[in-house]
Amino acid sequence: MVEGDNKGTIDTVQVALRIRPLMQLETDRGCEECIDVVNGQPQVQIKDLAFTYNYVFPQHITQQEFYDTAVKGLIGRLFQGYNVTILAYGQTETDTNVRPDKTRSHILVLKENLTSDNSLVSQKTEKTGDMQAL
């Protein structure tokens, strides 16, 4: 994973890119990877075009690693009173929470972490006592 140099700052909008692996059907058809990660930068290159993000994740990263790096901090900010929106866009399975490669979906990982990370909820409850909305 390549991370931008925005440590210690809060961006209004953060964008994380996770490069998905080619599917078996694509490799069977002779498709090849068309996206290159710029070494040491949160940037990808497709032909002569370059795109920069806050985070760039390789194909082999787990959903949990993605959550811990790109999402968990946002959840903490949510409990500090900031508005947070997490949008996952891309090809996903619609009828299952477990993908063919046996990793869990982004939605399932987010749900599990929100309900199991009691430290976030406990901190907010101790400060305000108003977490009944969860």
Tens-digit pLDDT profile for residues 75-94: 888 888 888 888 877 765 54
pLDDT at 59 over 50: yes
Global pTM reads 0.61
For residue 13, what pLDDT is reported? 80
Query: Which phi-psi region, left, alpha or beta, contains residue 52 (left: φ > 0; alpha: ψ -120 to 50)?
Result: beta
Residue 125 makes CB contacts below 8 A (sequence gap 6+) with 131
Residue 131, classified by CB atoms within 10 Å of its CB into exposed (0-12), middle (13-18) or buried (19+), is: middle
Task: Write down the pLDDT at residue 105.
Answer: 59
Contact 105, 92 (CB under 8 A): yes
Alpha-carbon gap, residue 5 to 132, rounded angstroms: 37
